Structure 1
């Protein structure tokens, strides 16, 4: 019995993830989720009392945590020990943008979040932000502060340096690929990351 309940819940989650990623929050109905999941609307409310709003919050937060874990692994793997600052930051940047291709369902939701931000509950946006993006930025700022302490970077605001770095290595990739919906060629991604790192270092390497 418990196994069947879990299967139903997972089917609902998969269905909701698909419909939200395709239609966004405001245009999605519980009926559409039920149809995609192959269950009744009653079954959805049995599992998720607040229906659409609760499903969206859970899916967005789970996706944010998944990306958070992947990005923390990238930080640990590529920035644990620096031997060549430019080369290591380029390798890090290439790994950093990879989740756009690895987690397409999550970034479909992110596209919808961006498009519908004025229609979403502020508490949902805050929960998503804290579950993923802000936590990762804080972890990366700590590592950049370590690079400052080691004399490899020069700044009195490591968090601001992180924001500049991320925009330079991934901003154009995100914009042109629409959060991974239209992936760019690998060599083009590598070139954009490398040019972003070099621009960052021109501003942040000690003179």
Structure 2
């Protein structure tokens, strides 16, 4: 929300806009220099606001980090859940299963500029070697990765019930699928090969087994 500054006729940012700017700036700074290296002053400069503005919204750096990461995690999780729902509908037919899983993986892996700041922080957490608060890391996991794995596991369980997949443990199957489709790649061709190979490997272990007599 914005209002107009009568003195100059310029748009003036409202409270919600400033909060969003601070959160986006915080993710950029945390992604660049890490949690320990970041400061409220650095984030204020990045957001082009005063430190007072930040403290009007957040108690301290720890709370700012928690909100910045968990809110973006929830947004990313919702986007991934939409991709899962779209590609693994309840009426998915067996002949389309492999292509659906490949398309799911492709959409999952495509870069998104809107989430680049979020994943810059995530990569720092995953790299280790930095003292990110454990409770905040757990909050991020619950808001994002665990939530998405649960959604994917529910869809795999449904596919297992319908006989399209052999699923002993949906949660483990979801972990296997994600691990197989998230290998590194440097081009669109490599991405296509990566997800196709990952999906076929997944299906090798999870396609229904022929009945034995």
Which TM-score band (shorter chain)? 0.7 to 0.9
**1:166-181 matched pairs, under 5 angstroms:** 166-170=178-182, 172-173=183-184
Q: What does residue 136 of structure 1 align with? A: 148
CA RMSD between the two structures? 2.0
Whole-angstrom CA distance in 2 between matches of 1:137 and 1:98: 18
> Which residue matches 2:7?
none
Which residue matches 1:98?
110
TM-score (structure 2 length as normaliser)? 0.84
- How do 1:70-149 and structure 2 match up within 5 A? 70-80=79-89, 81-83=91-93, 84-98=96-110, 102-116=114-128, 119-149=131-161
- 188 and 34 in structure 1: CA distance in 2 versus 1, 3 angstrom threshold: same
Q: 2:188 maps to what in 1?
A: 186
So what's the TM-score if we normalise by structure 1?
Answer: 0.86
Figure out how many residues of one structure are paired with residues of the other and give that number: 196
The offset of 1:13, in angstroms, is: 2.0
Where 2:80 maps in the other structure, the secondary structure is: helix
The superposition leaves residues 61-90 of structure 1 with CA deviations (integer Å, 9 ceiling, x where unpaired) of 011101111011001100003232111111
Q: Give the gaps of 5 or more residues in structure 2.
A: 4-11
Does structure 1 retain, via aligned residues, the 8 Å contact 2:24–2:68?
Answer: no
* Structure ID, larger Rg: 2
> Which residue of 2 is the match for residue 201 of structure 1?
203
More helix by share: 1
Indicate the residue corresponding to 1:41 in structure 2.
Answer: 51
CA distance in 2, matches of 1:159, 1:9: 36
Query: Cα deviation per residue 1:31-90 (whole Å; 9 max; x = unaligned)?
Result: 1112212223233222212x2111110010011101111011001100003232111111
For residue 23 of structure 1, what is the aligned residue in structure 2?
Answer: 33
Note if 1:161 corresponds to 2:173: yes
CA distance in structure 1 between the partners assigned to 2:88 and 2:161 by the alignment? 14
* In 1: Cα distance, 2:129 partner to 2:62 partner: 14
Q: Distance in 1 between matches of 2:166 and 2:106?
A: 23
Whole-angstrom distance in 2 between the partners of 1:85 and 1:14: 38
Give the distance between the partners of 1:138 and 1:193, measured in 2 at CA: 21
CA 118–27 in structure 1, closer or farther in 2 if over 3 Å, else same: closer
Give runs of ≥4 in structure 1 deviating > 4 Å: 99-102
SS in 1 for 2:35: coil
Contact 1:22 / 1:108 at 8 angstroms: preserved in 2? Answer: yes
